[in-house]
Amino acid sequence: MTTVLPIREFREGMFIVMATRNGILKKTDVMAFSHPRSDGIRAITLDENDELISAMLTEGRDKVFLATRDGKALIIEETQLRTMQRGARGVKGIRLRANDRLIAMVNCSVAEAPILTITEKGFGKRTLGKKYRIQNRGGIGLTNIKIGDKNGKVVNVLPTSGDDNIVLITDQGKLIRTRASDVKVVGRNAMGVKVIDVAENEHVVAAQRIVEAD
């Protein structure tokens, strides 16, 4: 399972945007999924060796933030995506360099909201959405984080607020919980700061946001 989208009601003007590992995006009217069948509904046609990595609800005029494992990022206007039928393949969202892959898609319509990036060696940074200029669909994007042997590849990218908690899990079963506000807000080209200590052969494999209930 890739993702679950809670939908309280199906109504006109709402869309589902899907993203694949190979950088393909697809936008479909949410009403196309309003009559489920017992054997399921095909939501997207995937190329061989591709897979769905994310899906989100939008309102037709949102900003879509795409992040790759090698530290690139691309923001596009949702209006660059035409609405497609359920079974369609989609269009190129971001052009990936060799051996890179898309690892996250974020709705970043609020320019002041910090975007949190976590790497496999336990580093993290927050950067304001307004630091990324909007570009055209299909480009290679901008630098989201400087990666190297010290901090490793990107694990996840998340929208955050200062009240959110972040849970990090390593491949050796270690788990920590920290406040998003404890991660420094810096520019796009920064490497980030240590968020969790990992052993020499240990890597962060998951990072998720926990929103505190009122």
| DSSP letters for the chain | -------S---TT-EEEEEETTSEEEEEEGGGGSS--TT-----PPPTT--EEEEEEE-SS-EEEEEETTSEEEEEEGGGSPB--TT---EE-SPPPTT--EEEEEE---TTSEEEEEETTSEEEEEEGGGS-B--TTS--EE-S---TTT-SEEEEEE--TT-EEEEEETTS-EEEEEGGGSPB--TT---EE-S---TT--EEEEEEEPPP-
Q: Is the pTM of this model over 0.75?
A: yes
CATH number at residue 198: 2.120.10.90
Any domain includes 2: no
pLDDT of 7 > 90? The answer is: no
Any domain includes 206: yes
Residue span of the structural domain in which 147 resides: 15-210
Q: Residues 102-113: what's their mean pLDDT? A: 82
Any domain includes 108: yes
Q: Chain-wide mean pLDDT for the chain? A: 91
Report pLDDT digits (tens) over 8-42.
888 888 999 999 999 999 999 999 888 878 778 88
Residue showing tokens 């971001």: 94
State how many domains the chain has: 1
Any domain includes 10: no
